[in-house]
Amino acid sequence: MEFQFQNFQNEYNAYHNIEGRIHIALQNNVANIPKTQQLRLIYDEFQNLDVKMRLAFGIREIRLNNEFVQDKEGDLKICHLLYYKLADLWFAYETFIKLFGHIAGVTKHKINWIGTAVHNNYPVDPILVNTLNIANSAFGVLYNTANKRTELIEYLNYCLPNAFGAQRVGLSAIIAKISFGPFILTHTEVLTVMYAIRNNFVHNGETTVVPAIFGYRNKARLLEILYPYLSLLLLRSTNIACVGL
């Protein structure tokens, strides 16, 4: 699945070389104790990220014991699979936030960091610009009628009670934007939608068939946009953060 995403192969190849670069940096800075301590923190967090990311990418299918539940087919199977892959990849993404902190010596919010001036090398990066454009083009095709946009709004309204603070404000603004017609989302807005879906799935008991207002076919199509977006965002952001190692 993942290697079919645009730019995934190149970014994954670059990502695959990071661990070796950290080892070389450790060898080259053995006499610099503060730098060595920083590099060890970076290495440990990178290992955490790597395990979580590879797990998300590595899940190819979910096989069920039919004594308890019937196998899922078609869009229901796709929706079920992408729920778990997206949830695991979000855990990896949260680890990336910690990794960035060790590298840059600053912290960033897991939702709105990519839109802030201090990190402006990310939103103008051509790979990330293209990744966002692909997602917005897919949104435009998928939600090309008022009825389809209304279904999405109803689903996001369902997510709203479990959003708090800035997340709730952001989600409300996205709902308002979609209500005006065809829409284009920023990185921050895509992450806000993704975080809302992930939280409902992980913390609120959402399933492929709940809520009924936005069935598994609708969810499958939405997740087919969000999962590739997060895959490329995570890989490319990690590569940018580690470029100086």
pTM above 0.75, yes or no: yes
Q: Residue 198: CB partners within 8 Å, gap ≥ 6?
A: 86, 87, 90
Q: Is residue 9 part of a domain?
A: no
Residue 181's CB is within 10 A of a number of other CB atoms, namely 9
Please name the residue that has the structure tokens 């199977």. 77
Residue 201 confidence (pLDDT): 85
Mean pLDDT of 190-218: 87
The number of distinct structural domains making up the chain is: 1
**pLDDT tens-digit series, residues 1-55:** 999 999 999 999 999 999 999 999 999 999 999 999 999 999 999 999 999 999 9
Q: Is residue 26 part of a domain?
A: yes
Tell me the percentage of the chain whose pLDDT exceeds 70: 96
Asked if 47 and 41 count as a contact pair (C-beta separation under 8 A), the reply is no
Q: Is residue 213 part of a domain?
A: yes
**Structural domain harbouring 236:** 16-241
Q: Which of 91-95, 186-190, 206-210, 241-245 has the lowest average pLDDT?
A: 206-210
Determine whether 29 is exposed, middle or buried from the number of CB atoms within 10 Å of its CB (0-12, 13-18, 19+).
Answer: middle
Q: Is residue 101 part of a domain?
A: yes
Q: Quote the mean pLDDT of the chain.
A: 91
Confidence of residue 108 (pLDDT cuts 50, 70, 90): low
Question: What DSSP line would sit under 89-108, residue for residue?
Answer: HHHHHHHHHHHHHHHHS---
